[in-house]
């Protein structure tokens, strides 16, 4: 893999992946980041990367749905591998407006696969970054495995399920060398503050309500983003072509417990905050429609076959994440202007119960 096309590399996980890979002394190739910079794409998250890694990192503002733009990138950089992150990724937004999800997640993936097929002779891998949400919801027991039937609940997860099927179909039908990863909830630096953890940190610091959906007893399996990046690179290097790998944190938490933990850490880590104790800001709001109850991942295939397991514990990972948001005020302030504010304010005004 000498010329890797990373789609959506200005988003949360893409940024972390590009930083992770360029910092790996064993990786000598080039990364070409194609991103059309939606509200969730922030090139500032990769500030100075091109200078720090001359002739190793390139940015192209491109829409994965655009045949001409993507075809030109394959040609120009002689792309031989694809790490496909680009997506509309927020479940709440998919409920309010599914169109962009169908366009980017399904049609965009289809277009990328078609371009890959066009340049098939030079392609060694198409890796699709997907989600555990394709499996639907668990009850109190059990885990998602790679053979759990697909049962998506939201327009977001249905669009990701459709894209998984397309990627598998291009392997079976055209012999495209693919791998797929289905991962649980990520957290860490550079995450857009519409997702639970950064939203709670930043709202708490501003003394705003901390909106917990329903009774707060929904469970997610949290994974520190660098662990996910290491899993992705492990799968890309060693994964069997045509196979799917589940990725998880072995870290199930109820939302309410996680939010209370963040509040308590903030009481200690931001001692001058005017809003202590931050737990007083917790507000239960109307539930998300179709809200999946519990996610838990069985990643034994990845662990046993490829030797990956998570390294960060949630205690250290959440503390590191809070520290990052406290330190990176320039990034936070830039993100919180514009599109972000209008969405959050409208959405939570509608949701208040
Ligand atoms: P994100 O929303 O932070 O970033 C998405 C990026 O894709 C942005 O930079 C955006 O500008 C870009 N993008 C969107 N539409 C595009 C288009 N049409 N053309 C080009 N670029 C486009 O998302 P994320 O949290 O970094 O997630 C990345 C991938 O990982 C997604 O495919 C998501 O489904 C998957 N995933 C995310 C998580 C998680 O917890 N965040 C967990 C499992 C899987
Ligand atoms: O499981 C992987 C998925 O994790 C990824 O595929 C998605 O791209 C990613 O957004 C994430 O989806 P979730 O819906 O689980 O993440 P979110 O941060 O939106 O919500 C986490 C949980 O917290 C969920 O049960 C809903 C709840 N929640 C969320 C928000 C934003 C709240 O209670 N209050 C909130 O304000």
When pLDDT is averaged across residues 199-218 and rounded to a whole number, the result is 97
CA distance 181 to 128: 7
Residue 176's H or E segment, with its range, is none
Bridge partners (DSSP) listed for residue 294: 219
CA distance 181 to 236: 10
> Helix 67-77 vs helix 109-118: angle between axes, to the nearest 10 degrees?
40
Instruction: Show which residues are catalytic.
Output: 132-133, 156
CA distance 271 to 179: 46
Q: Distance, CA 92 to ligand 2 centroid (Å)? A: 8
Residues 198, 10, 105, 187, CA torsion sign: negative
Give per-residue pLDDT as tens, 232-272. Answer: 999 999 999 999 999 999 999 999 999 999 999 999 999 99
Is 264 domain-assigned? no
Helix (H, G, I), strand (E, B) or coil at 33: strand
Which residues make Cβ contacts (< 8 Å) with residue 330, sequence separation at least 6? none
Give per-residue pLDDT as tens, 135-175. Answer: 999 999 999 999 999 999 999 999 999 999 999 999 999 99
Whether the predicted pLDDT of 342 surpasses 70: no
Q: Which residue has the CA at smallest separation from atom 1 of ligand 1?
A: 11
Task: Name the closest ligand to CA 105.
Answer: 1
Whether the predicted pLDDT of 313 surpasses 60: yes
Task: Name the closest ligand to CA 198.
Answer: 2
When pLDDT is averaged across residues 112-138 and rounded to a whole number, the result is 98
Is 233 domain-assigned? yes
Is 165 domain-assigned? yes
Q: Distance, CA 216 to ligand 2 centroid (Å)? A: 12
CA distance 58 to 30: 8
Distances, alpha carbon 348 to alpha carbons 209, 341, 344, 345, in Å: 10, 11, 6, 5
Q: Are strands 30-35 and 81-84 parallel, antiparallel or unpaired?
A: unpaired
Query: Six-digit token pair at 257?
Result: 């417990």
Is 266 domain-assigned? no
Range of the domain at 56: 3-188+222-250+290-311+340-347
User: Do the Cβ atoms of 105 and 160 come closer than 8 Å?
Assistant: yes
Residue 85's pLDDT band, with cuts at 50, 70 and 90, is very high
Q: Distance, CA 196 to ligand 2 centroid (Å)? A: 6
Q: Taking the C-alpha atoms of 53, 180, 157 and 21 in order, what is their torsion angle to the nearest 10 degrees?
A: -10
Whether the predicted pLDDT of 346 surpasses 90: no
Task: Name the closest ligand to CA 10.
Answer: 1
Residue 334's pLDDT band, with cuts at 50, 70 and 90, is confident
Choosing from 212, 220, 351 the residue with most ligand 2 atoms within 8 A of its CB, the one to mutate for a pocket test is 220
Pocket of ligand 1 (CB under 6 A): 7-8, 10-14, 35-38, 40-41, 63-65, 85-89, 104, 108, 129, 131, 160, 183, 185-186, 192
pTM above 0.95?
yes
Whether the predicted pLDDT of 352 surpasses 80: no
Residue 353's pLDDT band, with cuts at 50, 70 and 90, is very low
When pLDDT is averaged across residues 27-35 and rounded to a whole number, the result is 98
CA distance 16 to 226: 7
C-beta neighbour count of 5 within 10 angstroms = 29
Q: Distance, CA 133 to ligand 2 centroid (Å)? A: 10
Choosing from 88, 185, 257, 261 the residue with most ligand 2 atoms within 8 A of its CB, the one to mutate for a pocket test is 185
How many distinct structural domains can be found in the chain?
1
Q: Are strands 178-183 and 243-247 parallel, antiparallel or unpaired?
A: parallel
Bridge partners (DSSP) listed for residue 182: 130, 246
Whether the predicted pLDDT of 231 surpasses 60: yes
CA distance 63 to 51: 24
Helix (H, G, I), strand (E, B) or coil at 209: coil
CATH code, domain with 246: 3.40.50.720
Indicate the range of 36-40, 78-82, 128-132 predicted with least confidence. 36-40
Pocket of ligand 2 (CB under 6 A): 89-91, 131-133, 184-185, 195-196, 199, 211-213, 218, 220, 255, 288, 295
Q: Which residue has the CA at smallest separation from atom 26 of ligand 2?
A: 213
Cis peptide before 277 (omega within 30 of 0): yes
Is 334 domain-assigned? no
Is 262 domain-assigned? no
**Percent helix / strand / coil, the chain, rounded to 5:** 50, 15, 35
Choosing from 17, 46, 89 the residue with most ligand 1 atoms within 8 A of its CB, the one to mutate for a pocket test is 89
In angstroms and rounded to an integer, the radius of gyration of the C-alpha atoms of the chain is 20
Q: Which residue has the CA at smallest separation from atom 36 of ligand 2?
A: 211
CA distance 270 to 126: 43
CA distance 231 to 247: 7
Is 257 domain-assigned? no
Residue 116's H or E segment, with its range, is helix 109-118
Is 183 domain-assigned? yes
Task: Name the closest ligand to CA 93.
Answer: 2
* pLDDT score for 337: 77
* pLDDT score for 335: 85
């Amino acid at each position: 893999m000498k010329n890797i096309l990373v789609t959506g590399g200005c988003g949360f996980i893409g940024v972390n992946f590009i930083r992770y890979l360029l910092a790996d002394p064993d990786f000598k190739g080039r990364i070409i980041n194609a991103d059309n910079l939606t509200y969730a794409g922030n090139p500032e998250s990769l500030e100075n990367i091109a200078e720090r890694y001359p002739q190793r990192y390139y940015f192209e503002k491109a829409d994965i749905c655009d045949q001409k733009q993507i075809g030109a990138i394959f040609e120009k950089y002689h792309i031989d591998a694809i790490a496909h992150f680009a997506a509309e990724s927020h479940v709440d937004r998919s409920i309010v407006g599914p169109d962009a999800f169908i366009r980017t997640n399904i049609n965009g993936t289809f277009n990328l696969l078609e371009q890959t097929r066009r340049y098939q002779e030079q392609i060694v891998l198409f890796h699709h970054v997907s989600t555990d949400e394709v499996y639907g919801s668990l009850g109190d027991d059990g885990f998602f495995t790679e053979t759990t039937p697909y049962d998506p609940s939201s327009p977001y997860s249905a669009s990701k399920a459709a894209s998984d099927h397309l990627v598998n179909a291009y392997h079976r039908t055209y012999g495209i060398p693919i791998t797929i990863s289905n991962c649980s909830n990520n957290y860490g630096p550079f995450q857009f503050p519409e997702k639970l953890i950064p939203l709670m940190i930043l709202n708490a610091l501003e003394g705003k309500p901390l909106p917990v959906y329903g009774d707060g007893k929904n469970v997610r399996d949290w994974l520190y983003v660098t662990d996910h990046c290491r899993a992705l690179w492990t799968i890309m290097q060693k994964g069997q072509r045509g196979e799917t790998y589940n990725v998880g944190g072995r870290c199930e938490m109820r939302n309410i417990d996680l939010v209370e933990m963040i509040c308590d850490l903030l009481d200690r880590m931001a001692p001058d905050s005017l809003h202590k104790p931050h737990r007083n800001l917790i507000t239960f709001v109307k539930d998300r429609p179709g809200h999946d109850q519990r996610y838990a991942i069985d990643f034994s295939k990845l662990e046993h076959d490829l030797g990956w397991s998570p390294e960060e514990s949630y205690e250290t990972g959440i503390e590191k994440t809070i520290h990052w948001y406290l330190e990176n005020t320039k990034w936070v302030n830039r993100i919180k202007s514009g599109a972000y504010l209008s969405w959050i304010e409208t959405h939570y005004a509608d949701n208040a119960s």
